[in-house]
Amino acid sequence: MKQAQKGDTVKVHFKGTLDDGTVFADSKGGDPVQFTIGEGALIPGFEEETVGMSEGEQKSVRLEAERAFGHKRDELISTVPRKAIPDNIDLSVGLQLQMNSSSGQPVQVVVTDVAEDEITIDANPPLAGHPLTFDIELVEFV
């Protein structure tokens, strides 16, 4: 039976959970996710864990943060003057905003603190710093 290897294009179903059981992604009920192993379309650990799987095989894997979205990086947390945010935006902790980086690229950030004169924003991926568990099913080779 064929086993997946780097360079193979596969379709998988997966469910991703945090250590507390919170489901952050689940492809069941929709189309399987298609990707080519090793191209970097998905997080590195996920792609690596599909290597060696056969069609129809299922497995559960736990990825530490460094094999998933990485650790939180302090340089991606910053404060912004409150006056830099338009008045029509109701600022609150947890609010997601899109801002432009210094190079002009759009960046998703989350408001982590709101003070009178400034807000703190975090541009780390929301799952950075978390170990992730994936239940993976290799549906087919493409």
pLDDT digits (tens, 9 = 90+) for 18-72: 999 999 999 998 999 999 999 999 999 999 999 999 999 999 999 999 999 999 9
Residue 59: which of 20, 26, 13, 28 has the closest Cα?
13
Would you say the pTM of this structure is higher than 0.85? no
Structure tokens belonging to residue 140: 């087919």
Q: What are the DSSP E strand ranges found in the chain?
A: 9-17, 23-26, 33-36, 58-63, 77-81, 96-100, 106-114, 118-122, 132-141
Look at residue 104 in the predicted model and tell me its pLDDT: 86
Element (H, E) at 7: none
pLDDT tens digits, 72-111: 999 999 999 999 888 899 899 999 999 887 788 898 999 9
Give the pLDDT band of residue 113 (cuts 50, 70, 90): very high
